[in-house]
Structure 1
Amino acid sequence: MALKKSDLYSSLWKSCDELRGGMDASQYKDYILTLLFVKYVSDKAKADPNSLIEVPHGGSFDDLIKLKGKANIGEEINVAIRRLADANDLQGVINNADFDDPNKLGDGKAMQDRLSKLIGIFQDLDFSGSRAEGDDLLGDAYEYLMRHFATESGKSKGQFYTPAEVSRVMAQVIGIKPNTPKRTTVYDPACGSGSLLLKVADAAPNGLTIYGQEKDNATWALSKMNMILHGNVTADIRMGDTIVDPKFRSGDTLDTFDFLVANPPFSVKSWTNGLENEYGRFDGFGRPPEKNGDYAFLLHMVKSLKSTGKGAVILPHGVLFRGHAEATIRKELIKRGYIKGIIGLPPNLFYGTGIPACIIVLDKADAQARTGIFMIDASKGFIKDGNKNRLRPRDIHQIVDTFNKQVEIERYARLVPLKEIADPKNDYNLNIPRYIDSSEPEDLQDLHAHLHGGIPNRDIDALDDYWKAFPSLRSTLFSENRPGYSDLTIDIGSVQETVLESAKFKKFAADVDAVVDEWFAAHRSQLAKIDENTKPGELIGEISEDLLARFKAMPLLDEYDVYEQLMTYWNDLTMHDDVFMLMNDGWLGAAKPRKTIEDKDRKLSEMPDLIVGSGRSATKYKMDLVPPSLMISTYYYETAADIDKLTAAAEEAARAVEEYLEEHAVEDGLLAEAVDDDKITKALAAARLRVAKREKSDPDEVKALEHLIGLYDAEATAKKEAKDLQAELGATVLKEYGQLSEDDVKNLVLDDKWRAAVKERIASEVNSLTLDLVARIQQLGERYAQTVGALDSEIADLKAKVAGHLAAMGVPS
């Protein structure tokens, strides 16, 4: 069975569950990631005799498997991992976790069981097919764990991970080209676990030459492992404090690099501790404040860039506007033209802090000729993800497109002239709201409309994108009241029906469907050729870019929202897992039903897609690629409809029983004698019927009991018919899987699964936007439905009625 990314994630997180209790996430990550590393390099060494990592005898994951259940398992794991470390000069990198620590792993049998289960979870994972190029299954799994570790570790331990989405933005805005050679250098002076460096290297098809420095010993070890897991064995990652003791230098001169990225710790107050040599970083700029290290890192980056170097750094918003020494440094950076752009990010993206941050894009190439700084306010584009915010694929794409093409967009992005920044009223302050007003336009009330009626045309004109998409719909909905004002031509309650049933809306929806069909048709043959040589990253990149391009000219719909629908379907692992299975098992192999995995000892279980048989003899199956529902809707639609009818009949029969009991199973009711513990089963009713007949009880009670038993029988018959037909269908569907040809599988997956799902998702965007139009029209209609004069008249009438009622009651006015 192919190792799906979703299954891998699930297995890895279950392994974390085995360690919970004895330690927190900042500690058990060392154990999980070490085993992940050993398993990965062992599998790769077996698959590739030329692997750069040597796996010695006694130091492989297979050797760990042999230790399961042994009394000294923890001690022996340490020995095996040390052998692997010694063979590859990885001492202090992969052997930091002590697998024989009773304080963390328990004593005696508890440790033995815990470590045996932990090894067992990793045992069935197979990384031999993981490809560093195209789709790095293991690297993504590592990133998944790092994200969860950062979340669980809290603020003090979250600094070792930069969210992948932010890393992708930085990688794509610093100017890496498709033909950038491998020898091109990239450097991160505060590299943490290395995730940011790797994302930048991935942006270059040929890869990059990687350099990094990390202060924390444990995090440095994570980075070294991460580089190897991603196929960057030769990456040069050094340990030490970058500000106090930069490792990449020749004497007192800092080394320089082509590209540079960093997510340094925010506003470090102790950055000067032990600082004896500034290495020329502050020359011409001034020294950063003693209690805030943001500009110390920024100036280190500037100094570490070649004369044509480019970089990006994540820093808190305060660097854009704080005064005193920082204002002096900022002014000099702007004057020299080193700042190419600033991207304001949403709040609460990072694990170490909840404050909003920004990306400062540096570019020394032609810096003196720079006439402006390109700013983007991307603070509103995100999705909630647990207790953090996260950039969506559409947010990433829009930021990158806008920045790289330098497209000015109202309330989102503009190229701010240096003259405007230098103007005394701004005085080199780079706070984004000074230059971009991202607030939504105020929804103004029109007093003239409230007084005299009618909807202001300016409010209707503001919906112009809809009128372009649905020509003539405006004239259907509105008619002129007087100059500048219009009336709704229909009742407010009929707006939604009028819009959704209009020919123009239906044509627009059909046009959207047609674009999706054309897009899918253009790529269908490519998708049908998915095999072991497919590179999933390139595949989804190509088809998603084409989808986005096709919707650029479509009115009303935001092409990035359409793009998001496809990427969500991919990133939620439905389509991604399908592709990975096809790569590993082929079309027929991936479509073959398999029995569910159930292992209580290792806490592994799967929800079945199909159950054949019943009770202990039941067999449970998973159909990952072609779910039974897809087979049924394609080949057995009529049978499914019959089952639905029988199920409905069974539900109706159950309701009849319930209603009859509610009517007669009450005190003094015809069925009162059969009630036991507030219920009447069929058995109770039958027992009471026998007694009632023997005792010649009330004939009406006998009839009621006989009727109730008949209802119970009807319910049981209906349920059995539905169950029998469902079982028959299950067996038939299971048999049908064995008769599918490769073309059958391709038709089911490509057309009935992928294309249908994407079409449905994009159609939901059309419906959502249309309902927004309906809501706005209804709001405007209700707002100006009554004039002030009409309200005054209604109030006067009500006052008169109240006065009349009071007079009738003898109450003086």
Structure 2
Amino acid sequence: MAIKKSELYSSLWASCDELRGGMDASQYKDYVLTMLFVKYVSDKYAGDAMSLIEIPKGASFEDMVALKNQPDIGDRINKEILRPLFAANGLEGSMELVDFNDDDKLGSGKEKVDTLSKLIAIFENPGLNFKNNRAEDDDVLGDAYEFLMRHFATESGKSKGQFYTPAEVSRILSKVISVEKANKPSYTAYDPTCGSGSLLLKVAEEAPNGLTLYGQEKDIATKGLAIMNMWLHGYPEAAISGGNTIASPNFKEVDGALKRFDFVVANPPFSVKNWTSGINAMDDEFNRFRGYGIPPEKNGDYAFLLHIIASLKSTGKGAVILPHGVLFRGGAEGEIRKNILQRKWIKGIIGLPANLFYGTGIPACIIVIDKEDVESRGGIFMMDASKGYIKDGNKNRLREQDIHKIVDAFTRQWEIDKYSRIVPYSEIEKNEYNLNIPRYIDTQEEEDVQDLNAHLNGGIPQKDIEALQEYWEVYPNLRKELFTPLREGYSKLNVAKSAIKSTIFDHSDFTAYNEKLDVIFEEYREHNHARLNGIDQNTKPKAFIKSIAEDLLERYSNRPLIVRYDVYQHLLDYWNETMKDDVYLLVEDGWVAKVKRIIEKNKKSGKETDKGWTCDLIPKQLVIDKYLVKEQQELQDLEAKIEGIQAEITGLEEEHAGEEGLLSEASNDKGGITKSTIAAFIKENKSNPNEKEAVKLANTILELFTKEADLKKSLKTKEYELDELTLAKYKTLTEAEVRTLVVDDKWLASLQAAIQTEIDAISQRLTGRIKELAERYENTLGELDNHTKILEDKVSAHLSTMGLVWN
């Protein structure tokens, strides 16, 4: 039975993190990812003579499993597994192997044996089976690797998280350099500071037939990760080199010149202080600085940018992440920037939100370079995308809608108010080649100005009503119903503030527009119904979600009041939270609703407890709502009766349990009444004639407690019976019923409900603004003065009565 991938990743991280002990995450990641690597290549290539990767006999993951609990496990993993595996594939000496026999990091003796044995056991999870994974384009490996890398980067802190570029940013870089046009694998892509290789791989994903990959990484351990990452993702032939890219670029032509590539992407370390180490910039053999200038000795941002420009072919395209300072800093950098701009090689600049990256919290930008067709380029496409993100723990993260909007605007060169525009070179020249984005894109929201005339004489300013024109174009008659001209330039509100919301919600214009939006969703449902039902073992999840998401985006394009990217985000949120797991299950298991027991294991005792059953694909409530309505109603009726009795007891308690109440002596220390305190009070006072009325009331409450207890027993029985009936129904569900429950009752119903929140928000925004204006100009200054005078007179009268007089 397939395992939910989201649960698998979370479990994998939790288990690994638990074993980390005091080791820094940036070091521990090397052990975990090496283990993932050995597991993957063993599952995928062991025993395959035709494979590009050779798994020597005795060096597979299964052989590693056999080493569990052996006293020399660490030394044998090094000598019997890792070294033979890398040597057989020509990697001996090209990467630093993580030491599984390091006492300082893993402990010594039994501690090390237990840690490594448990770590191996984690990767024996049946969900981590790469051998028969069907969803080839979006398999468990890629997601597991991405999940672990993100978590390790988060845990590693500012100074040690630079090995990983957030996947969302990597996707933008890969999409804005036209990689999709590279239809042959012979096209080349290069990352001069490749880290663990994630950015390079994202670029390769965008190419229809892959790319030939090159990367250089200074940190030896991280370079090893990059090599393994290439293997893990089907690029064992990728050329990953070590060393300092600026001082010693390793990729050269036969004549010794710098090798040039079709695509270059990079996320270099920001503002490196010692970039000149190992290089005489004045006499650079690759002429990277000639004609531009030499970057400041203590800031290497432009050194990396110039290296990237020099590494591009004459038609090459690149994208690099750099701090905002490169856009406006003066001195030597200003001169370099001017020389680059005069060659028209910068196609665009994308300003990103702050705090996206693991190595720093400062805001950064993407500089897009394109050496092709520079003669016809009249300016630079600038974008301020700094406000589109979501908080994710202590970092900010780009949402799917943010990525899509950035890519759409850039690739289609859309000019969007307060977001993006093409800035002519003449304007840049007038600004002395300063590229600071706020100089060219004003993102400031217009100030909500108070109208003194309205405050003095009443009425709502016409300019504020006109500012809602996008609503009036959709609801033309609603405006007439809400407002009547009062005098020139001002109107009065025709309804009470409390009635604004209902007036909008009930208006025919509003309902008519809602119906139009409902039709759009119904058309979407009809168009995609067969596609949703057509999921089988050949379905490719990435292609699948892309097709249904792009169709949704297109259908809500150019619709007034509703933002298509917000609608798109609802689908992608649902995909990531629920639907992606469902599609994996369907690819693996088919259209069957498999149930499983929920077994909870106590970490300390190891004891397992049965917590019932569940179904990952179809929630219980869906089956109950569809097939067991009568039984569910009976259960709800019992719950209602119990709530009624509890309310009755609470009412009697509030009335009679206080200090002066009839049942004050029947209360506990906290002043409340329980069944036991009532029973004790009756037993003690049943023969006391002075407490006759109290005893009678106590008996009434005791009967209510008894009735409540009986009903709770019946409720528990009903819940058990309903659970058993539900389980029995699951066992008889036909494939057609499963399809209906999943596609119609779960997926489409959830998506429609989410989109409805966007539709509801339209009226809520309009209601909120009109109510704000109504409250702002509700009373004129004269009315407020009169009201204040009345209150002052009342206070003076009270003070006078008290013998106090103001002088």
The two structures have a TM-score, normalised by structure 2, of: 0.94
Counterpart Cα distance in 1 of 2:141 and 2:118: 21
Note if 1:636 corresponds to 2:625.
Answer: no
Q: Deviations over 1:366-425 (max 9, x none)?
A: 2133211110111111111111111111111111111111111111111011011112xx
* Distance of aligned partners of 1:186 and 1:812 in 2 relative to their CA distance in 1, 3 Å threshold: closer
- The residue type paired with residue 592 of structure 1 is K
Query: How many angstroms does 1:682 deviate by?
Result: 3.9
More displaced 10-residue stretch of structure 1: 562-571 or 689-698:
689-698
2:166 aligned residue: 163
1:83 aligned residue: 84
Counterpart Cα distance in 2 of 1:282 and 1:86: 40
Quick one: which of 210, 230, 253 aligns to 2:257?
253
* Distance of aligned partners of 1:619 and 1:384 in 2 relative to their CA distance in 1, 3 Å threshold: closer
- The residue type paired with residue 699 of structure 2 is E
Secondary structure at the aligned position of 1:85 is classed as helix
Counterpart Cα distance in 2 of 1:465 and 1:582: 43
- The residue type paired with residue 37 of structure 2 is F
Note if 1:398 corresponds to 2:383.
Answer: no
2:729 aligned residue: 736
Matches within 5 A, 1:510-659: 510-572=515-577, 574-588=578-592, 591-600=593-602, 620-659=612-651
Counterpart Cα distance in 1 of 2:552 and 2:6: 25
Q: Deviations over 1:29-53 (max 9, x none)?
A: 0111111111111221369664432
* Distance of aligned partners of 1:334 and 1:550 in 2 relative to their CA distance in 1, 3 Å threshold: same
Q: Deviations over 1:475-531 (max 9, x none)?
A: 121111122211111111211121122222222223222211211220111111111
Quick one: which of 315, 319, 333 aligns to 2:322?
315
Quick one: which of 400, 404, 420 aligns to 2:427?
420
Conserved 8 A contact 2:135-2:539: no
Matches within 5 A, 1:145-294: 145-178=148-181, 180-250=183-253, 251-276=255-280, 277-294=284-301
Counterpart Cα distance in 2 of 1:348 and 1:529: 41
Conserved 8 A contact 1:191-1:262: yes
- The residue type paired with residue 532 of structure 1 is Q
1:480 aligned residue: 485
- The residue type paired with residue 503 of structure 1 is S
Counterpart Cα distance in 2 of 1:361 and 1:681: 72
Query: How many angstroms does 1:113 deviate by?
Result: 2.8
Aligned-pair identity (%): 54
Counterpart Cα distance in 2 of 1:491 and 1:531: 57
Query: How many angstroms does 1:695 deviate by?
Result: 8.8
More displaced 10-residue stretch of structure 1: 74-83 or 171-180:
74-83
* Distance of aligned partners of 1:672 and 1:476 in 2 relative to their CA distance in 1, 3 Å threshold: closer
Query: How many angstroms does 1:664 deviate by?
Result: 5.2
Counterpart Cα distance in 1 of 2:774 and 2:706: 56
Secondary structure at the aligned position of 2:190 is classed as strand
Query: How many angstroms does 1:230 deviate by?
Result: 1.0
More displaced 10-residue stretch of structure 1: 496-505 or 321-330:
496-505
Conserved 8 A contact 2:4-2:616: no
Secondary structure at the aligned position of 2:591 is classed as helix
1:491 aligned residue: 496
2:714 aligned residue: 721
More displaced 10-residue stretch of structure 1: 478-487 or 259-268:
478-487
Conserved 8 A contact 1:70-1:112: yes
Counterpart Cα distance in 2 of 1:757 and 1:605: 38
Secondary structure at the aligned position of 1:596 is classed as strand
Note if 1:466 corresponds to 2:471.
Answer: yes
Query: How many angstroms does 1:668 deviate by?
Result: 8.0
Query: How many angstroms does 1:340 deviate by?
Result: 0.5
1:612 aligned residue: none
Matches within 5 A, 1:69-108: 69-78=69-78, 79-91=80-92, 96-108=97-109
Counterpart Cα distance in 2 of 1:289 and 1:603: 61
2:443 aligned residue: 438
Counterpart Cα distance in 2 of 1:315 and 1:103: 37
- The residue type paired with residue 789 of structure 1 is G
* Distance of aligned partners of 1:495 and 1:712 in 2 relative to their CA distance in 1, 3 Å threshold: same
Quick one: which of 321, 326, 330 aligns to 2:337?
330
Counterpart Cα distance in 1 of 2:16 and 2:135: 25
Matches within 5 A, 1:125-164: 125-130=128-133, 133-164=136-167
Counterpart Cα distance in 1 of 2:600 and 2:42: 26
- The residue type paired with residue 296 of structure 1 is A
- The residue type paired with residue 288 of structure 1 is P
Secondary structure at the aligned position of 2:320 is classed as strand
Conserved 8 A contact 1:187-1:212: yes
* Distance of aligned partners of 1:186 and 1:130 in 2 relative to their CA distance in 1, 3 Å threshold: farther
Conserved 8 A contact 1:25-1:153: yes
- The residue type paired with residue 487 of structure 1 is K
Counterpart Cα distance in 1 of 2:189 and 2:697: 85
Unpaired runs of 5+ residues, structure 1, are 607-615
Quick one: which of 765, 768, 791 aligns to 1:772?
765
1:611 aligned residue: none
* Distance of aligned partners of 1:793 and 1:349 in 2 relative to their CA distance in 1, 3 Å threshold: same
Note if 1:756 corresponds to 2:749.
Answer: yes
Counterpart Cα distance in 1 of 2:663 and 2:117: 60
- The residue type paired with residue 567 of structure 2 is V
Secondary structure at the aligned position of 2:354 is classed as coil
More displaced 10-residue stretch of structure 1: 358-367 or 102-111:
102-111
Query: How many angstroms does 1:356 deviate by?
Result: 0.7
* Distance of aligned partners of 1:409 and 1:64 in 2 relative to their CA distance in 1, 3 Å threshold: same
Note if 1:304 corresponds to 2:311.
Answer: yes
User: How many matched pairs?
Assistant: 798
Query: How many angstroms does 1:278 deviate by?
Result: 4.4
* Distance of aligned partners of 1:695 and 1:374 in 2 relative to their CA distance in 1, 3 Å threshold: closer
1:610 aligned residue: none
Note if 1:117 corresponds to 2:118.
Answer: yes
Note if 1:344 corresponds to 2:351.
Answer: yes
Q: Deviations over 1:639-687 (max 9, x none)?
A: 2232122112223323434444555556686656666766765456556
Query: How many angstroms does 1:106 deviate by?
Result: 3.0
The two structures have a TM-score, normalised by structure 1, of: 0.93
Q: Deviations over 1:292-349 (max 9, x none)?
A: 1111100101111000101101111111111111111111111111011111111111
Counterpart Cα distance in 2 of 1:417 and 1:604: 69
1:358 aligned residue: 365
Quick one: which of 768, 779, 782 aligns to 2:775?
782
* Distance of aligned partners of 1:786 and 1:126 in 2 relative to their CA distance in 1, 3 Å threshold: same
* Distance of aligned partners of 1:324 and 1:446 in 2 relative to their CA distance in 1, 3 Å threshold: same
* Distance of aligned partners of 1:309 and 1:486 in 2 relative to their CA distance in 1, 3 Å threshold: same
- The residue type paired with residue 373 of structure 2 is D
RMSD: 2.5
Conserved 8 A contact 1:92-1:221: no
Secondary structure at the aligned position of 1:123 is classed as coil
